[in-house]
């Protein structure tokens, strides 16, 4: 039995508790690793000074906005793709996946451009702090 058929069996015919555990445990591990990373980052950057700690305190929510946008496209597309595949409409499911991918790339590019603009024009955004 290959990996693809195991996944389909898990989602199609396995019991709900088994499927939740199989998909939930990796998600929880990922969230714990992310939380641990942020704690370690705050510990070491906090030792550098107040302005450095303030910088990561400002940037962390912006990173969460980027994660939220990724989840917007990923979860929205996954839900719609699941319904299309359930109906047997693989062609439209492929189109939705492509649209979600390219939309995500476009929003990421626009966000990066806006961030670069804010950094390059001091009146719009982040200015360097001279001590």
pLDDT tens profile 78-109: 989 988 988 888 899 999 999 999 999 998 88
For the purposes of burial, counting CB atoms within 10 Å of the CB of 78, is it exposed (0-12), middle (13-18) or buried (19 or more)? middle
> In angstroms, what CA-CA distances link 118 with 56, 105, 122, 125, 131?
16, 20, 7, 5, 22
Element (H, E) at 1: none
Please state the pTM of the whole predicted model.
Answer: 0.59
Domain ranges of the chain: 1-47, 50-131
Number of H helices, E strands in the chain: 4, 0
Cα-only R_g, the chain = 21
- Check residue 6 and give its pLDDT: 72
Stretch 16-25: mean pLDDT: 83
């Amino acid at each position: 039995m290959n990996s693809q058929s195991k996944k389909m069996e898990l989602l199609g015919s396995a019991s709900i508790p088994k499927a939740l555990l199989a998909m939930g445990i990796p998600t929880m591990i990922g969230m714990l690793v992310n939380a641990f990373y942020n704690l370690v980052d705050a510990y070491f950057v906090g030792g550098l000074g107040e302005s450095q700690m303030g910088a990561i305190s400002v940037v962390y929510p912006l990173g969460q906005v980027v994660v939220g946008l990724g989840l917007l496209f990923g979860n929205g597309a996954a839900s719609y793709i699941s319904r299309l595949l359930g109906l047997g409409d693989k062609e439209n499911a492929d189109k939705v996946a492509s649209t979600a991918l390219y939309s995500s790339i476009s929003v990421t590019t626009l966000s990066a451009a806006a961030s670069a603009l804010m950094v390059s024009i001091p009146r719009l955004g982040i200015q360097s702090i001279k001590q």
